[in-house]
């Protein structure tokens, strides 16, 4: 039986690379999914001899090809298993992203950290924007946390413009989480309890009455006519 791209030469190449003998159904599936002689040779040349036809189809379906593997090799991530390759490809961690992150000073030993960073929207442009706002040496974990909480360069600049000097990342995140804004009025009054204590410059003279120390209140509550 001969199908486009999976003829006798293809079967011989699978045997040469120690793949399990494919069934007719395996050959049909590989032909349908674009696993041909060239692909098998390219993957094999990169050191991937996968034994099972299903593994070849999985890699092909997820866009793992010779160029992608080469880009990871050149970035220092070599000899990754199939699942790691597929995961990196699926999450957009390719050679360009890795190289750009490395240029920004981030080259983690495990590419999984880059997957998490990519998933959280941490990319070179975001890192550069926070550096422009004064946050030069954040870890990838801190960058992911800042991104998750909606911390942007614009927000940091507005915080500083309101007289907060150089707040720590934790302080910026706390303000962001509590709904602090820099519009007219300066704060989101839905969070007045927090902000009356945390932002005294925004509400001068505001005081909270201590009913527990108010004798008139206590006496009135104790009355049992």
Q: What is the pLDDT of residues 43-78, one digit of tens each?
A: 999 999 888 999 999 999 999 999 999 999 999 999
Mean pLDDT of 166-171: 94
Reported pTM: 0.71
Predicted confidence at residue 213, as pLDDT, reads 46
Q: Which band of pLDDT confidence, cut at 50, 70 and 90, is reported for residue 120?
A: very high
Q: At what angle do helices 124-132 and 140-148 cross, to 10 degrees?
A: 90
CA pair distance 165, 188, nearest whole angstrom: 20
Predicted confidence at residue 207, as pLDDT, reads 44
CB 133 within 8 A of CB 159: no
CB 22 within 8 A of CB 51: no
Is the pLDDT score of 142 beyond 70? yes
**Left if phi > 0, otherwise alpha if psi is -120 to 50, otherwise beta: which for 187?**
beta
Burial class of residue 75, CB neighbours in 10 A (0-12, 13-18, 19+): buried
Q: Which band of pLDDT confidence, cut at 50, 70 and 90, is reported for residue 191?
A: very low
CA pair distance 74, 78, nearest whole angstrom: 8
């Amino acid at each position: 039986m001969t199908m486009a791209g999976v003829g006798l030469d293809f079967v011989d190449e699978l045997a040469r690379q120690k793949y399990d003998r494919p069934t007719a159904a395996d050959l049909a599936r590989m032909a349908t999914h674009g696993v041909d002689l060239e692909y098998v040779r390219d993957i094999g040349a990169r050191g991937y001899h996968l034994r099972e036809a299903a593994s070849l189809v999985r890699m092909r379906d997820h866009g793992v090809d010779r160029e992608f593997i080469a880009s990871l090799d050149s970035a220092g991530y070599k000899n990754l298993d199939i699942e790691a390759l597929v995961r990196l490809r699926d999450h957009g961690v390719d050679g360009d992203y890795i190289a750009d992150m490395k240029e920004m000073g981030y080259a983690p030993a495990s590419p999984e950290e880059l997957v998490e960073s990519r998933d959280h929207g941490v990319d070179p442009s975001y890192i550069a924007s926070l550096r422009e706002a004064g946050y030069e040496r954040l870890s990838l974990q801190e960058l992911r946390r800042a991104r998750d909480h909606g911390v942007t360069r614009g927000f940091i600049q507005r915080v500083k413009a309101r007289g907060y000097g150089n707040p720590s990342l934790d302080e910026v995140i706390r303000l962001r989480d509590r709904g602090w804004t820099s519009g007219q009025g300066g704060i989101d009054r839905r969070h007045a309890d927090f902000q009356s204590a945390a932002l005294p410059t925004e509400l001068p003279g505001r005081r909270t009455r201590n009913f527990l120390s108010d004798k008139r209140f206590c006496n009135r509550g104790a009355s049992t006519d």
